[in-house]
A and B are shown apart, each in its own frame.
Chain A
């Protein structure tokens, strides 16, 4: 079946540095990808998305890169702030229209 993996379960960065969180997916037919942020005890919060016809998409302080050749997705957070501390999940849309989540990366920002 389809799967989504994440390369690193935890990431610790200094405030002000850039963060990069990676994700891999298995289904080459996947055409929509989303990054979510989840704070403790809360539901996932949409950060940014990208469709398979794009390689890169930018938001406010965030950039998502998609490499379809190697089925890899990354989230870059510029000038990371303490408020960015959370667990980040990548998700792909499955064949049933549901979201398949990666395992998550816990980002810790040191002041």
Chain B
């Protein structure tokens, strides 16, 4: 089946630094990539939606200058958390969707800890 490879699986960084998270779709093309954030014991909350070759659409309350999303190809999307702060510590998950079919494939998630 479709697989989305997400890296890194966990990362610890210092306050003020930037972290990049990658999601690659293996053997399929992801026309749309969704980025979610999940705090402990909470549900997944959509941060942004990106379509290949166009600017990402951010949900209300999500700072686009802080969470940079790049979806330059049909197999790779990246989320960069810039100037990370402890409150950005969370579990970040990507989900790829192909075309109009309701097929959603999730990455394995990235645990970000900002110290």
Binding site for B on A (CB under 8 A): 32, 34, 41-46, 49, 89, 93, 96-104
Q: In the assembly, what is the distance between CA of A37 and CA of B41, in Å?
A: 14
Q: Could you say which of A43, A103, A104 contacts B108, with CB atoms under 8 Å apart?
A: A43
CB of A43 within 8 A of CB of B49, answer no
Q: Kindly identify, within residues 52 to 109 of chain B, every residue whose CB is under 8 Å from any CB belonging to chain A.
A: 57, 91, 93, 95, 97, 102, 104, 106-109
- CB of B111 within 8 Å of the partner chain: yes
CB of B34 within 8 A of CB of A43, answer no
- CB of B19 within 8 Å of the partner chain: no
Binding site for A on B (CB under 8 A): 6, 32, 34, 42-46, 49, 57, 91, 93, 95, 97, 102, 104, 106-109, 111
Closest 8 CB pairs of A and B: A43-B106, A43-B109, A101-B43, A101-B44, A43-B108, A32-B102, A44-B106, A103-B43
CB of B44 within 8 A of CB of A93, answer no
CB of B108 within 8 A of CB of A99, answer no
CB of A44 within 8 A of CB of B93, answer yes
Contacts of A93 in B (CB 8 A): 102
B59 to chain A, nearest CB (A): 9
